[in-house]
């Protein structure tokens, strides 16, 4: 990497810009707002309230070029082995469109299309059965994406199917979910890429027993034989996925079955079309105007040049309230890595803590810390221009709050009273959807997926494995016999806790 790019160059730009208020950057450059506004279909982004100036931005772009981000995207879409630690492709883009001539990508697209047709047929069949409620059982990537999209796009009154999500191994979750349902009018979908996930196997068993058998059980898995055998589910009700789809990138596959049930198959296809449209933007747009690239470079700037250890996403649309939870898995499971592709330690910090919530509620809880706390937390604000509810005044109030928060954080306000003064200089990206539709939501999620991938390339890490979650799972399995009193734990703290549990139980 040359002297003009790389972490040191970015840090020197950050040092040069320290003390330059965000509104001074705007005053220096009348074109700034326009140059930092980008659109793709129904999605508008404005990065003018990020703290890089034109020179720092050029250094960031140079980093994107030296990492060959354009080539990296091409390799992703062409089905190259981007998941090097597991030796496979990550072809989630082939689940929603055909953007590659590579044989592996074409085959993936064909398989995905075929399975989607099977899914449509299963939905049509279910419509005639008197089933009104569906329990979707899965966790992590087999839960968060479908849960977000189904919640965001469902009508205020449930349509033909009410879809409920059950993820946690805590039996209270199953008890509460089932308490309101009638087994005679309920079907369940067990979703697990591996079909080896403790939570889903236990909850699947609860559902099978509660339903009185497997007749109204469906499964989605990359291990369909295991799924069918474990729960005695007829092969026609088991939909496959593939090892080339990562769990957290899988909502476009049959993992989206609950989405299609909640919002209708046509609208599910609209979601895929919106994502595919954004895929085309990523492939066809030069790096400088590429939204996913700009989002990724902004993340690198905030993390590596400015050292910010957290990143927030605030949704000013109640229907997107689950977006932060979904993004936490997408971003933190993908980028929470300390070693590069070759196993050597990374040279810079990787993922910050991602968190967030829905405005305006968040303003009345933790926004105090964002305005006056000692740590700066860069934010993504996500809002929707068109209102779909009957309460127009509320929508204006919602939008006025979104605009005001970003402005207050950026510009601050001086006061003689230190308790009443706002330092400002707190960056945010503004994201506006023309309206919340399947297309715009598909595009938004695809944007985040591509930004995550671009960040992984810039950091030289693998966005598609998640070995970090394995140790805890192994230990939990090993502790089950100890909880039953059959064995002793090795760790002294765990031993003390087990004794406490045994004494109080």
Within residues 226-255, the interface with ligand F6P by CB under 6 A covers 247-248
Site size toward ligand F6P (CB under 6 A) is: 14
5 or 192: whose CB is closer to ligand F6P?
192
204 or 270: whose CB is closer to ligand F6P?
204
Q: 286-325 mask for ligand F6P (x: CB under 6 A)?
A: ----------------------------------------
Going by C-alpha positions, the residue among 422, 431, 460, 455 that lies closest to residue 302 is 455
Cβ at position 449, least distance to ligand F6P in Å = 14
Cβ at position 195, least distance to ligand F6P in Å = 7
How far is 416 from 419, CA to CA, in rounded Å?
A: 9
Residue 145 in contact with ligand F6P, rule: CB under 6 A: no
Cβ at position 472, least distance to ligand F6P in Å = 9
Is the link from the previous residue into 360 a cis peptide, with omega within 30 of 0? yes
**Using the rule CB under 6 A, which residue among 200, 214, 253, 439 binds ligand F6P?**
200
Cβ at position 466, least distance to ligand F6P in Å = 5
What distance lies between CA 21 and its chain's CA centroid?
A: 31
Residue 142 in contact with ligand F6P, rule: CB under 6 A: yes
Q: In what order do the strands lie in the sheet with 43-46?
A: 37-40, 43-46, 428-433, 379-384, 310-316, 353-358
Residue 426 in contact with ligand F6P, rule: CB under 6 A: no
Residue 140 in contact with ligand F6P, rule: CB under 6 A: yes
Is the distance from CB of 195 to CB of 228 less than 8 angstroms?
Answer: no
**Residues in Cβ contact with 241 at an 8 Å cutoff, skipping those fewer than 6 apart:** 115, 193, 220, 221, 222, 250, 253, 254, 255
Stretch that binds ligand F6P, among 34-42, 137-145, 408-416, 479-487 (CB under 6 A): 137-145
Stretch that binds ligand F6P, among 96-104, 158-166, 190-198, 314-322 (CB under 6 A): 190-198
**Residues in Cβ contact with 79 at an 8 Å cutoff, skipping those fewer than 6 apart:** 89, 91, 94, 100, 102, 104, 105, 108, 244
Stretch that binds ligand F6P, among 139-147, 373-381, 406-414, 495-503 (CB under 6 A): 139-147
Residue 193 in contact with ligand F6P, rule: CB under 6 A: yes
Residue 36 in contact with ligand F6P, rule: CB under 6 A: no
List, in sequence order, every residue forming a beta bridge with 239; answer none if it has no partner: 220
How far is 163 from 152, CA to CA, in rounded Å?
A: 13
**Using the rule CB under 6 A, which residue among 141, 146, 425, 438 binds ligand F6P?**
141
**Using the rule CB under 6 A, which residue among 81, 194, 401, 494 binds ligand F6P?**
194
Cβ at position 480, least distance to ligand F6P in Å = 17
Residue 463 in contact with ligand F6P, rule: CB under 6 A: no
Cβ at position 248, least distance to ligand F6P in Å = 5
Q: In what order do the strands lie in the sheet with 186-191?
A: 162-166, 133-137, 186-191, 217-221, 238-240
How far is 143 from 146, CA to CA, in rounded Å?
A: 6
Can you state the angle between helices 198-211 and 470-483, rounded to 10 degrees?
A: 60
Residues with a known catalytic role? 333, 364, 473
- Burial annotation 242-253 (CB, 10 A radius, 16+ → b, else e): bebbbbbbbbbb
Cβ at position 322, least distance to ligand F6P in Å = 15
C-alpha R_g of the chain: 24
46 or 250: whose CB is closer to ligand F6P?
250
**Using the rule CB under 6 A, which residue among 50, 111, 136, 197 binds ligand F6P?**
197
Cβ at position 333, least distance to ligand F6P in Å = 6
Residue 469 in contact with ligand F6P, rule: CB under 6 A: yes
Q: Are strands 238-240 and 37-40 parallel, antiparallel or unpaired?
A: unpaired
Binding site for ligand F6P (CB under 6 A): 139-142, 192-194, 197, 200, 247-248, 333, 466, 469
């Amino acid at each position: 990497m040359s002297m003009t790019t790389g972490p040191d160059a970015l840090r020197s730009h950050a040092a040069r810009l320290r003390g330059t208020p965000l509104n001074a950057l705007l005053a220096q450059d009348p074109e700034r707002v326009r140059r930092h506004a980008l659109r793709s279909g129904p999605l508008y982004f404005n990065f003018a309230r990020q703290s890089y100036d034109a020179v720092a931005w050029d250094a960031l772009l140079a980093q994107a070029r030296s990492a060959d981000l354009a080539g990296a995207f091409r390799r992703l879409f062409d089905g190259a082995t981007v998941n090097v630690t597991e030796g496979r492709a990550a072809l989630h883009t082939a689940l929603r469109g055909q953007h590659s001539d590579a044989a592996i990508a074409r085959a993936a697209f064909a398989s995905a299309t075929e399975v989607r047709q099977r899914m449509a047929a299963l939905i049509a069949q279910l419509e005639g059965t008197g089933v009104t409620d569906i329990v979707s059982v899965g966790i992590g990537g087999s839960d968060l994406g479908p849960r977000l999209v189904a919640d965001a796009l469902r009508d205020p009154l449930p349509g033909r199917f009410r879809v409920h999500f059950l993820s946690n191994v805590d039996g209270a979750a199953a008890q509460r979910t089932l308490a309101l349902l009638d087994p005679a009018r309920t079907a369940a979908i067990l979703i697990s890429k591996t079909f080896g996930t403790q939570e889903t196997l236990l909850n699947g068993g609860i559902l099978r027993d509660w339903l009185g058998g497997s007749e109204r059980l469906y499964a989605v898995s990359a291990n369909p034989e295991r799924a069918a055998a474990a729960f005695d589910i007829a092969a026609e009700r088991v939909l496959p996925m593939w090892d080339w789809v990562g769990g957290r990138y899988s909502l476009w596959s049959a993992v989206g079955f609950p989405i299609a049930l909640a919002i209708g198959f046509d609208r599910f296809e609209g979601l895929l079309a919106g994502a595919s449209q954004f895929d085309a933007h990523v492939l066809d747009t030069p790096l400088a105007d590429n939204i996913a690239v700009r989002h990724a470079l902004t993340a690198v700037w905030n993390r590596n040049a400015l050292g910010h250890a957290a990143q927030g996403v605030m949704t000013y649309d109640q229907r997107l309230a689950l977006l932060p939870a979904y993004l936490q898995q997408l971003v933190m499971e993908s980028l929470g890595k300390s070693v590069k592709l070759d196993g050597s330690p990374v040279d810079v910090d990787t993922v910050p803590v991602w968190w967030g919530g829905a405005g305006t509620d968040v303003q009345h809880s933790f926004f105090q810390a964002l305005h006056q706390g000692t740590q700066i937390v860069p934010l993504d604000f996500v809002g929707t221009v068109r209102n779909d509810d009957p309460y127009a005044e509320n929508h204006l109030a919602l939008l006025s709050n979104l605009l005001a928060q970003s402005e207050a954080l950026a510009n601050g306000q001086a006061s003689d009273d230190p308790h009443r003064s706002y330092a400002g200089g707190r960056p945010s990206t503004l994201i506006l959807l023309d309206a919340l539709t399947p297309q715009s939501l598909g595009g938004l999620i695809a944007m985040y997926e591509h930004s995550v991938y671009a960040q992984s390339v810039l950091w030289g890490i693998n966005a598609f494995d998640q070995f970090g979650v394995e140790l805890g799972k192994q230990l939990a399995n090993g502790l089950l016999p100890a909880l039953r009193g059959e064995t002793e734990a090795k760790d002294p703290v765990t031993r003390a806790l087990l004794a406490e549990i045994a004494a109080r139980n």
